[in-house]
Amino acid sequence: MKKNIISIYNTNFQIVSKKNKSYLLNILLKNNIKINYQCRDGYCGTCKVILIAGKICYFQKSPIAMLQKNEIVSCCCIVLSDIQIKLYK
């Protein structure tokens, strides 16, 4: 099965994830990555991260949260390739 690597900026931490239809937020939480979240529907933007490299898509849900350039809402996006993200603190 094809796998994607999710790298976290400014760390040596990488997640090897099966290429499937899991939301990025679920992958991060499953791998004990501390990330804030609330609605899980793309409304609040609490779970947003910065996409530095790679491709994602929004599957079934399009975010309504206000996003700046390169920000993505992790609760409703699917990873399409190896990606690098930066978490907000």
Report pLDDT digits (tens) over 71-84.
999 999 999 999 99
Q: What is the pTM of this model?
A: 0.91
Q: Would you kindly state where each structural domain of the chain is located, as residue ranges?
A: 3-86
What's the rounded Cα separation, in Å, for the pair 16 and 18?
A: 7
Residue-level pLDDT at 18:
84
The strands making up 71-73's β-sheet, listed across from edge to edge, are 14-18, 3-8, 83-86, 48-53, 71-73
3-86, CATH topology level: Ubiquitin-like (UB roll) (3.10.20)
